[in-house]
Structure 1
C-alpha cells in the first residue's frame, strides 16, 4: 500500500520569515503616529510646568514642617530631576507605557490592517515580537526623556550641584547621576506589569482605548488596594506596593532589598502576561 505524502507548502523565492516586518520599519511607523509625538511633547513639557509652579509658589518646603524629597526640589538640578520622577511615577509614567503597549496591536485591528499584515505573510510571533520590542523602546525613551530634560532644566535654573537628601546629607554630582540611572531603570522595570497588561489586552480586543484604558484602570486598582492596610502581607504581592522602592536610592547608603523584591515581582507578572499574549494571539481568529 503506497503512502500519500503531502507536498510542502509553496514558499515564494527569497521569503524569510525572520525578515518580515523589520524593527526599523515598525519603529518608523510608530514614530510617525500622532500619539507618539503628543506623548513625547508631554514628557518634554512636564519639567517646565513644575519649574513654573516652583517659580510661582516659591520654596516648596517653606510652608510646612515636614522634610521630604519635594522640599529639596530647588536645591540642585539633580534634586529637580528626582522630584520630577517622584511626581510622575505614580500615575503619569503609567500612561505612555500603557499607550505604547496597549495601542500597538489593537490599533492595527481597529484599522482593519492586521489581517493584511498576517497575509503578507508576517508570522504571528514575529509580528508580536516586533511590536513588543518597539513598544519597549518607545516606553524607555519616554521614561528617559523626562529626567534628562528635568536635569537640564533644573541645572539651568538651580545650578549643577550635589543631590540634597531628604534625610540629611548630600551625594556628589557624579554619584547622584548614577543614582538617577538606577532610579530610571527601576521605574521602567516597575512598569512592566502595566506593559504586560496592556499588551495582553491589545491582543484580545480591536479597541485600542479598551486595551490602554483597561491597563491603566487595573494599575490604579492595584494602587488603591495597596492602601488597604487590612490586607496585611497580601499587599506584598501587589506590584504597586513596590513602585516607590526606588526611594532607597536617594539615601546615604544605597539599599537594594526592596528594589530586588519589586523587580522580581514585576518581571514575573510581566513574563506571564506576555506569554498569555503570544499564546492567545497564536490561536486567535483574526478577521480585522
Structure 2
C-alpha cells in the first residue's frame, strides 16, 4: 500500500480494523516522526497480567491443585482390589493404577496418564482458543487494533501468553502431583509398569521426559484452538471446536480397520510417552509423534495468521 502525499496525511484514512491498513498507518507515523512505535503497544507483561487476573485462569489453577488431592483421597478410601481392577485404556494403564500408590513419582505418572487425554486438552484449548475470541466477544478487539496494534504483533503477544499459560498448566499438574504423592504415599523409588525400578534421579528424569512430550503434544490443541479463536467471535465455540476435533481423532484412532492410515491422525502418538517407562527409553514413536504434531500445529498457526491478516474486524 502506497503512502498518501504529505498534504493528505491529515485527511480521512481507513480504520485499522480494516485489513491492510497497518502498514499505511505505520508509514504515516514514520513520516510525521510523532514518536509512535508499534513495539510499545500490547506489551507482553501487560497481557500476562490481564490473563492472570481473569477468573478462568483462577478456576484452572484451582482445578489443577485440587485434582491430585482428590485422586490421592480416592486411593486412600478404596481397597487394593477395587483400584487394581479399574477400567483403563490398556494394560499399561492398568499397571499405572496398580503402582500409583507406591510412591510420589508413580503417583505423578498416573495423574499425568489420567489427565492427558481430556483435562489438559480442555485447559490448553481454553487458554489458546479464548485469547482472541474473547476480545472479539467483548468488542474490545476493534479498540486494540485502533491503537493501532499491528495484527501480527497482536497475535504474537496473545499466543506467547497463551502458550506460556498452557505450559504452566502442563508443568504444574505433575509437579503438584509429585508433592501430593510424596505426602500421601512416601518417596520410594519409582517402579516401571513394564518391570524393574528406577533410582530417584532416573525416575525424575523419566517423569521430565513424559511432561516434556505431553507439553509438546499440546501444541496440536493450541494450534487448533487458536485457529478457531481467530475464525469465530464465540470463545466457547473455539474451545469446544478444538476439543471436538481431538475427541474425533481419538475415536478414529481406535478403529483398527484403518490400519496404517491411523499414523496420519494428529493424536495417534498421544501416548507414545509410555515408551519412556520401560527399562530403556524408546524414542522412535515419540520422534514420530513430535514430527506429526509440529507439522499439524505449524499449519494451524500459519492458517490463523493468514486469515486474521485478511479479516475485517467488525465485532
Distance 1:161 1:13 in 2: 64
Q: TM-score, normalised by structure 1?
A: 0.95
Matching residue within 40, 43, 52 for 1:31: 52
> Any idea what the Cα deviations from partners look like across 1:26-80, whole Å, max 9, x if unmatched?
0000000000110111011110010011011133676549761111000110000
Match of 2:63 in 1: 42
Alignment root-mean-square deviation, CA: 1.7
Aligned runs of 1:112-191 on 2, under 5 Å?
Answer: 112-191=139-218
> Any idea what the Cα deviations from partners look like across 1:142-195, whole Å, max 9, x if unmatched?
111110110001011111121111121101111111111111110011111111
Kindly state the Cα deviation for residue 10 of structure 1 after the two structures are TM-superposed: 3.4
Distance 2:46 2:81 in 1: 46
Match of 1:194 in 2: 221
Distance 2:142 2:211 in 1: 37
Q: Given the superposition, is the C-alpha separation of residues 60 and 28 from structure 1 closer, same or farther in structure 2, using an over 3 Å criterion?
A: farther
- Is 2:57 aligned against 1:58? no
- Contact 2:42/2:149 (CA < 8 Å) preserved in 1? yes
Match of 2:15 in 1: none
Matching residue within 289, 293, 305 for 1:266: 293
Match of 2:14 in 1: none
**Paired residue total:** 285
Aligned runs of 1:200-239 on 2, under 5 Å?
Answer: 200-239=227-266
Kindly state the Cα deviation for residue 220 of structure 1 after the two structures are TM-superposed: 0.4
Distance 2:305 2:296 in 1: 15
Kindly state the Cα deviation for residue 197 of structure 1 after the two structures are TM-superposed: 0.6
SS in 2 for 1:73: helix
Gaps of 5+ in 1: none
Match of 1:92 in 2: 119
Match of 1:9 in 2: 28
- Large movers: runs of 4+ above 2 Å: 4-8, 10-14, 58-67
Kindly state the Cα deviation for residue 20 of structure 1 after the two structures are TM-superposed: 1.3
- Contact 2:96/2:193 (CA < 8 Å) preserved in 1? yes
Q: TM-score, normalised by structure 2?
A: 0.87
- Contact 1:54/1:60 (CA < 8 Å) preserved in 2? no
Q: Given the superposition, is the C-alpha separation of residues 125 and 169 from structure 1 closer, same or farther in structure 2, using an over 3 Å criterion?
A: same
